[in-house]
Structure 1
Amino acid sequence: MTTRLRSIHSRSIRSLRRPLAVLVAAAGMSMSTAQAGEVEVLHWWTSGGEAQAVGTLRDLLESEGHSWKDFAVAGGAGDSAMTVLKSRAMSGNPPSAAQINGPEIQEWGELGLLGNLDDVAAEENWDELLSPVVADMMRHDGHYVAVPVNVHRVNWMWANPAVLEDAGVEIPTSWDELFAAGDALREAGYVPLAHGGQPWQDATVFETVALSLGGADFYRQAFVELDQDTLESDTMIEALETFKRLRELMDEGMPGRDWNLATRMVIDGQAAMQIMGDWAKGEFTAADMQAGSDYLCAPVPGTADDFIFNIDSFAMFQLEDEESTAAQKTLARLILQPEFQKTFNQLKGSIPARTDLDMSGFDSCAQRSLDDFKAASEGNTLVPSVAHRMAMRSDVQGAFFDIITNYFNDESMTAEQAAQRLSQAASLAL
């Protein structure tokens, strides 16, 4: 961790650390009274495809005699869920398991609230099953405290082939091709690019543009290392300008629209394309559509050799009750079992967190995603998502979100001004 990130992390942790002794004691009392074998699970999987996917985990847990208490908090990218989790933790009543991703696992680990899964990991050979980049994110201070559910690719473009054919265009491989296709699609009566005007969705699109124009090294320097010169560079200004120009391809109804409703526009033939992570594929699957015929997938223009990853994971909170702890560890074990990994990821649209599974039952988009994940790992073009809590601490990410979405929606703000503000936000990490 860089000195700058340690500083900003310390500020984010201090607000939770003050009542830590009281919190831990209260959490112990609360969990000691939990129903035997019950696991309360906080997550934000509430759309059609996501709800089906998480239901498979519930069914597996209950088949082993434990009970699942669902704690679903709607809201894309988990912002609402994290607010609720912090409130529950501060009141001394955290859930048994919570969907926590990326660097935030370390933040909760440093508060001393997460349980130790080393015994489950050793019994199930997690070190052998997981790629190093995935395993490292599941550990705090050398110990497993979380278990990965999947790996998402963020830099995907989804398209309705019937709409493209009607407008006489093909799925684009460059930004120039996309803007040219946009003109033809508008003339044919379609929305070229479906989008939901929410900060995390804006950031999702922006990070793919930045990667396409700058490459993996540029991306890491800007968003992981928070290098101020990179954030103010000509390449970043070009990325911001291209990002803002994408508004020309979107419809006026985008403000506040949920991501799955934007996906539905592509499914229903209102819109031609959407830039969104592969959880969008879960919506196509739920609509009984087939990859390659009913819908198309392609890397975002200019990112065919790159892979922006988002790893969904469940962190386990410390419990005092032995039976509830046993149920919690059963949950952790089940998450990486082949049966769940295959069923869940086929429904969710993602690829398995473990790399040894037979992918013959997965669709062509998932098979390509796994191949590209392995190639990007070997080629050092695997980068963590800014929009999905993988690249930076939560308070830095929040500042970036504000700047990106304000710039996208403010006609008067220039790309140079936005770049300077991103650099200034990074300087707060010093």
Structure 2
Amino acid sequence: MKVRAKSCCVAIRLAVIACIALGSSASAAQELEVMHWLTSGGESASLSVVRQAYRDQGGVWRDAPVPGGSAARAAAVNRILGGNPPPVFLFSLGAQLRELSAHGLVVPAPGAGAEWDRVLPPLLSRSAQQQGRYMAAPLNIHGENWMFYNTALLRQAGLEVPRTWEAFITAAATLKAMGKTPIALGGQPWQERLLFNAVLLGVGGRDFYRRVYEALDETALSSPTMLAVFRTFASLRPFVDEGSPGRRWNQATAMLMRGDAAFQFMGDWAKGDIRAAGMEPGVQIGCALAPAPDPAYIMVVDAFAFTQPRDAATAEAQKRFVAVMMDPAVQAGLNQAKGSIPVRTDVPDDGFDICAKQAMTLIRAPETNLASTGMGLSGGMAGAVDDAISHFWNDPRLSPQEGQALLRKSILAFR
């Protein structure tokens, strides 16, 4: 009943915002095309919070979904280069968006200012700016280094939630002996990279993670610690089922929910699908940050970018869109539906699940904030990192030493 009451409070707050703004904005309504990839159950529910709030304020929303983040980003870029740019499109903070901004293909987020500097986590604020101006409006903060687990399976096996990678490997062996798949993994390079980076953080710690992906430190890449990372990563291969190659992330999450698998290392967007299936994150499907020596949150941020408005009405519609999306009540509602956490650190954690509450507390400490490789590395380097990790994971003939050398070569080639 508490969760339902809190959800009602969010809905009431949104309705009050809508009523205040409706009278003044309806006459200036302008159709606004919004391109995005938010098409799965939890994703669609989160976007509907923004869409409804925008419509309640008199805006006319034209939905332009493109399933799949990579396909949607490519579609947006193609339209921009083809002379038919979408006025609003979802992207990810990172090198490709910086390139679009540097070439003047996107305009600064309308309405961004000093308040954003105050309420956004410093790492997010820096990543969202180009030459001191916000190149996009951040939608949400996702954490990549979550370990989700089926609580009933662990209870059946008599296992505690592992807090170290050594304990995890012991637990995985027990589960495999029971005939259960220990790790639900989608065999796509980006999913394999999430698992690798969880191991990297867990073996090396957050300062080592920064040395590798921020400083691009050759000494760290060549170190015994990195070799230990690859040895641990390789030791996880036997705990993934043969159906992994090509599997989508939400299919792996479904394995977890059915009880076919015990663990999934995945971003917190998985919680949106868990909720859509009628389960509660932190209850039937437990959540913990992947084992690591010190607390850290590997952040990936979805953001809406804007192209040059064709007229004053479109410019006003873009500005209204940003104001709606950044409103604290809308931020609360959309992120509760998606499984992510608000970009604003001043949003109360009322109504959020236990996993999100933990994340919202954690990101308020800047030293815990880490950038995902897609957010922190250049596009070419991020792709090379994914390729190196995937190559190693999918070729058991490669030794940990060869995997380490492959990653080192891939990073240094773009440094």
Cα distance between partner residues in 1 of 2:62 and 2:244: 34
Cα deviation, residue 419, structure 1: 2.0
Cα deviation, residue 37, structure 1: 1.8
Paired residue for 2:44? Answer: 51
Residues 29-70 of structure 1: per-residue CA shift (max 9 Å, x gap): xxxxxxx72222222222211111112112222222322232
Cα deviation, residue 331, structure 1: 1.0
Alignment equivalent of 1:343, drawn from 333, 343, 350: 333
Alignment equivalent of 1:201, drawn from 191, 194, 215: 191
TM-score, normalization: structure 1?
0.86
Paired residue for 1:420? Answer: 405
1:229-248 aligned within 5 A: 229-248=219-238
Q: For residue 383 of structure 1, give the secondary structure of its aligned residue in structure 2.
A: strand
1:116 and 2:108 are equivalent in the alignment:
yes
1:20-419 aligned within 5 A: 37-75=30-68, 78-104=69-95, 105-117=97-109, 120-122=111-113, 125-302=115-292, 305-375=295-365, 377=366, 380-386=367-373, 389-419=374-404
Name stretches of at least 5 consecutive residues in structure 1 with no aligned partner. Answer: 1-35
Provide the alpha-carbon RMSD of the alignment.
1.7
Cα distance between partner residues in 2 of 1:289 and 1:261: 16
Describe the shift of the 1:165–1:153 C-alpha distance in structure 2 as closer, same or farther (beyond 3 A).
same
Residues 98-150 of structure 1: per-residue CA shift (max 9 Å, x gap): 222223332111010112335x124x832322222222222221112211111
Cα deviation, residue 204, structure 1: 0.8
Q: For residue 362 of structure 1, give the secondary structure of its aligned residue in structure 2.
A: coil
Cα distance between partner residues in 1 of 2:339 and 2:327: 18
Cα distance between partner residues in 1 of 2:35 and 2:386: 24
Describe the shift of the 1:160–1:85 C-alpha distance in structure 2 as closer, same or farther (beyond 3 A).
same
Cα deviation, residue 94, structure 1: 2.2
- 2:137, 2:303 within 8 Å by CA — same for their partners in 1? yes
Cα distance between partner residues in 2 of 1:86 and 1:195: 30
Cα deviation, residue 366, structure 1: 0.8
Q: For residue 358 of structure 1, give the secondary structure of its aligned residue in structure 2.
A: coil
Cα deviation, residue 303, structure 1: 5.2
- 2:121, 2:364 within 8 Å by CA — same for their partners in 1? no
Cα distance between partner residues in 2 of 1:219 and 1:238: 14
- 2:164, 2:202 within 8 Å by CA — same for their partners in 1? no
- 1:232, 1:416 within 8 Å by CA — same for their partners in 2? no
Paired residue for 2:21? Answer: none
- 2:216, 2:411 within 8 Å by CA — same for their partners in 1? yes
- 1:208, 1:300 within 8 Å by CA — same for their partners in 2? yes
- 1:159, 1:266 within 8 Å by CA — same for their partners in 2? yes
Residues 307-350 of structure 1: per-residue CA shift (max 9 Å, x gap): 11112211111122221121111111111112211111101111
Describe the shift of the 1:61–1:231 C-alpha distance in structure 2 as closer, same or farther (beyond 3 A).
same
Residues 207-240 of structure 1: per-residue CA shift (max 9 Å, x gap): 1111111111211111122222322222112212
Identity score, percent: 38
- 1:138, 1:146 within 8 Å by CA — same for their partners in 2? yes
- 2:109, 2:305 within 8 Å by CA — same for their partners in 1? no
Cα distance between partner residues in 1 of 2:293 and 2:81: 41
Cα distance between partner residues in 2 of 1:360 and 1:250: 37
Equivalent residues, number:
386
AA at the equivalent of 1:98: F
Residues 164-200 of structure 1: per-residue CA shift (max 9 Å, x gap): 1112212211112111111221222321111100011
Describe the shift of the 1:176–1:100 C-alpha distance in structure 2 as closer, same or farther (beyond 3 A).
same
Question: Which deviates the most, 92-101 or 358-367?
Answer: 92-101
Cα deviation, residue 265, structure 1: 0.9
Cα deviation, residue 201, structure 1: 0.3
- 1:220, 1:383 within 8 Å by CA — same for their partners in 2? yes
TM-score, normalization: structure 2?
0.89
Paired residue for 1:7? Answer: none
- 1:227, 1:426 within 8 Å by CA — same for their partners in 2? no
Cα deviation, residue 304, structure 1: 5.1
Cα deviation, residue 424, structure 1: 2.1
- 2:144, 2:194 within 8 Å by CA — same for their partners in 1? yes
Cα distance between partner residues in 2 of 1:73 and 1:416: 40
